Structure 1
Amino acid sequence: MATTQLECACEPCGCQVSAQTSVEREGKVYCSQACADGHADQDQCCSSCECC
């Protein structure tokens, strides 16, 4: 079974995320809950990018 990689919808992020592990909000996919929430609490989404 092939894994589909998608790009996180958080513009400064750009992380690749699989459809199985993504967080979906308003029809967009994100790599983490932090990105989906717009980094409202200044949470960093992962160690490989600098969203906030």
Structure 2
Amino acid sequence: EVLNETKEGIKETVNETKEGIKETVNETKEAINATVNATTTDNETTETTQ
């Protein structure tokens, strides 16, 4: 019984960790995209002014 409860607890922890990783990856992708977009905009502005 204790073993089964431990297994269930581990499964839940693993699932929560996977979800957390997915969220982190998505947030990181969004941050990278925002940075890339900002950099691209800066470059275009620089090229226009030169």
Q: TM-score range by the shorter chain?
A: under 0.3
Q: TM-score, normalised by structure 2?
A: 0.25
Q: TM-score, normalised by structure 1?
A: 0.25
> Quick check: which one's strand share is greater?
1
> Quick check: which one's helix share is greater?
2
Higher-Rg member (1/2): 2
